């Protein structure tokens, strides 16, 4: 039960508290934000609506805690992270329950998200010890005109206060993908969780509390992004922003000050299927890649570009698999569960209606009950339909039939997004040439797009993001290089 047992202190009455200075507190606003269960469409939880004054205090104590933390030996930081990871995994069940209730994630996937997050934190600790434990040593006489009179020592130092804003679809995993690298690198961290997913995040933060991290080092402020988001992202006390979400990220990058930004934004991941592809493999990956968590993944397959000559066979195979997907509540571990909100369901429905009006072939009848949308494959989609370009973030996949590889690549590259893409072919040389031609951060050959494993570099081009993530890249991004130069007297050639 969320908020019970070891998590007792994080809630008072009906409302979950926010976390600052090592304590769980109620906001002075006296206001709360409701979290709507996507399945029942009733209020499931409530969190504090933090005020700007509270944000100021959180950032102030975060700043103070960071100074001390930066001096804490790396191995000690790693030790605490390992401890938090173990506590998180130990409490996977109540945290997963929050994910089921808040974001309608299927029960098993919810547990997987928490366990994966624990593994991510531990990997950050190990990787951080390795990459932050070494620096560079340079000598001056390798640059023209210089004698060997300067020795330069470089090391990586923390940035200060890192602001982490994850999205609803992987609230725990995408929060720790920021928290782990920030903390091991000697930063403090302020988390603004997504409203849907906030209670799972508060439970996760409590695991860091139980691990014994110093007061103020990690904080969690709750409230609607539309209300406290700008105040947080434009706050002069924030030294780095790591954001994952949709177009909001583009707006933040225009408003934020001169601080390093890590932006993981939307995608329209294309799946190109060639004539020589293993069509069973492609169909299985379109189902897994397109419909896992009801398509609410940045790396979901969001458009299939298939060669006309094999399109009928592929569509038939995908439809056969699609018919086996179980549709229903997340508690029953169904494959397709209600999408996160009514407005999200309405948006998906709008894309479906637009495609219908413009003549797309619905391979299944469109069906919706509340936020639950039955999975649907749309064949014969054309570029004049919105679904050809927009990210539905739901269980609906458009199929565009192409007559050449170039046509597929052209469609992929004409998108504003450039997150991932995938290609199915048995010809590895062709696959590599297509990968080179696709303007996306990653191309998967013979598998669906995917973020993990979490230590792989992960990045989007164009409107899909700024910077590169993955554990090693995130640790590096959350540090700055510091040089110390030792100046020696002019060498005496008579010496030695």
**Number of alpha carbons in the 13 Å side-chain half-sphere of residue 430:** 16
CA distance 115 to 355: 39
CA distance 357 to 206: 50
Give me the 274-313 binding string for ligand NAP, x by CB under 6 A, dash otherwise: ------------------------x---------------
- Told to check if 179 binds ligand NAP by CB under 6 A, we report no
Q: Choose which of 225, 338, 398, 470 interacts with ligand NAP (CB under 6 A).
A: 225
Q: Which of 264, 349, 390, 407 is catalytic?
A: 264
Give the CA distances from residue 207 to residues 2, 62, 79, 169, 457, in Å, rounded to whole numbers and listed in that order. 14, 18, 14, 20, 27
Closest CB to ligand NAP among residues 103, 322: 103
- Told to check if 463 binds ligand NAP by CB under 6 A, we report no
CA 286 to centroid of chain Cα atoms = 21
CA distance 191 to 200: 13
CB 385 within 8 A of CB 398: yes
Give me the 250-279 binding string for ligand NAP, x by CB under 6 A, dash otherwise: --x-----------xxxx------------
- Told to check if 230 binds ligand NAP by CB under 6 A, we report yes
Q: Choose which of 246, 328, 350, 467 interacts with ligand NAP (CB under 6 A).
A: 246
Hey, what are 136's tokens?
């560079």
Would you call 264 a catalytic residue per the annotation?
yes
Q: How near is the Cβ of 264 to ligand NAP at its closest, in Å?
A: 3
Place of tokens 């309608």: 104
- Told to check if 195 binds ligand NAP by CB under 6 A, we report yes
Give the interface segment with ligand NAP, choosing from 137-145, 219-227, 281-289, 486-494 (CB under 6 A).
219-227
- Told to check if 18 binds ligand NAP by CB under 6 A, we report no
Quick one: the chain helix, strand, coil %, rounded to 5? 40, 20, 35
> Residues 6 or more apart from 140 whose CB is under 8 A from it?
146, 147, 148, 149, 150, 151, 152
| Helix (H/G/I), strand (E/B), else coil: 100 | helix
For residue 248, the tally of other CB atoms under 10 A from its CB is: 18
- Told to check if 182 binds ligand NAP by CB under 6 A, we report no
Q: How near is the Cβ of 245 to ligand NAP at its closest, in Å?
A: 3
CB 9 within 8 A of CB 207: no
Q: How near is the Cβ of 193 to ligand NAP at its closest, in Å?
A: 6
| Element housing 164 (H / E) | strand 161-165
Interacting residues with ligand NAP between 335 and 364 (CB under 6 A): none
Q: Choose which of 106, 229, 330, 418 interacts with ligand NAP (CB under 6 A).
A: 229
For residue 46, the tally of other CB atoms under 10 A from its CB is: 19
Closest CB to ligand NAP among residues 87, 200: 200
- Told to check if 234 binds ligand NAP by CB under 6 A, we report no
Closest CB to ligand NAP among residues 84, 238: 238
Q: Choose which of 194, 421, 449, 470 interacts with ligand NAP (CB under 6 A).
A: 194
DSSP state of 447: S
CA dihedral 237, 240, 241, 242 (to 10 degrees): -140
Contacting residues toward ligand NAP, per CB under 6 A:
165, 167-169, 194-195, 224-226, 229-230, 233, 244-246, 248, 252, 264-267, 298, 391, 393, 419, 460, 465
Q: Which residues have a catalytic role annotated?
A: 264
């Amino acid at each position: 039960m969320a908020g019970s047992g070891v998590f007792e202190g994080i809630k008072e009455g009906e409302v979950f508290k926010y976390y600052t200075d090592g304590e769980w507190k109620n906001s002075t606003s006296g206001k709360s934000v409701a979290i709507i269960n996507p399945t029942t469409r009733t209020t499931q939880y409530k969190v504090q609506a933090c005020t700007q004054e509270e944000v100021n205090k959180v950032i102030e104590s975060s700043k103070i805690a960071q100074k001390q933390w930066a001096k804490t030996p790396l191995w000690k930081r790693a030790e605490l992270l390992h401890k938090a990871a173990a506590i998180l995994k130990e409490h996977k069940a109540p945290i997963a329950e929050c994910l089921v209730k808040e974001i309608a994630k299927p029960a098993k996937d919810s547990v997987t998200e928490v366990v994966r997050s624990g593994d991510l934190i531990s990997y950050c600790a190990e990787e951080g010890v390795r990459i932050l434990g070494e620096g560079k040593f340079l000598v001056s006489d390798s640059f023209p005109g210089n004698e060997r009179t300067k020795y330069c020592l470089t090391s990586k130092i923390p940035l200060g206060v890192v602001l982490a804003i994850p999205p609803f679809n992987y609230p725990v995993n995408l929060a720790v993908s920021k928290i782990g690298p920030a903390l091991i690198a000697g930063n403090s961290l302020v988390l603004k969780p997504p409203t849907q997913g906030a209670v799972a995040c508060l439970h996760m933060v409590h695991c860091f509390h139980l691990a014994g991290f110093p007061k103020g080092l990690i904080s969690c402020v709750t409230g609607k992004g539309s209300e406290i988001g700008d105040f947080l992202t434009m706050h002069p006390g924030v030294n780095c922003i790591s954001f994952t979400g949709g177009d909001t990220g583009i707006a933040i990058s225009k408003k934020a000050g001169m601080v390093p930004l890590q932006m993981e934004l939307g995608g329209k991941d294309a799946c190109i299927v060639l004539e020589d592809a293993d069509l069973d493999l492609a169909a299985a990956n379109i189902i897994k890649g397109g419909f896992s968590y009801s398509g609410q993944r940045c790396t979901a397959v969001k458009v299939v570009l298939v060669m006309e000559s094999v399109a009928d066979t592929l569509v038939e195979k995908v439809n056969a698999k699609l018919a086996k997907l179980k549709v229903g509540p997340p508690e029953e571990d169904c494959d397709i569960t209600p999408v996160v909100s009514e407005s999200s369901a309405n948006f998906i429905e709008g894309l479906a209606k637009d495609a219908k009006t413009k003549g797309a072939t619905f391979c299944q009848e469109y069906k919706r009950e509340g936020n639950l949308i039955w999975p649907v494959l749309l064949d014969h989609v054309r570029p004049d339909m919105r679904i050809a370009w927009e990210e539905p973030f739901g269980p609906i996949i458009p199929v565009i039939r192409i007559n050449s590889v170039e046509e597929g690549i052209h469609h992929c590259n004409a998108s504003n997004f450039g997150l991932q893409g995938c290609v199915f072919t048995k010809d590895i040389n062709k696959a590599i040439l297509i990968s080179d031609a696709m303007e996306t951060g990653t191309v998967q050959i013979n598998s669906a797009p995917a973020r993990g494993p979490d230590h792989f570099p992960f990045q989007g081009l164009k409107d899909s993001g700024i910077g590169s993530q993955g554990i090693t890249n995130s640790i590096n991004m959350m540090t700055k290089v510091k040089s110390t130069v030792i100046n020696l007297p002019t060498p005496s050639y008579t010496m030695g």
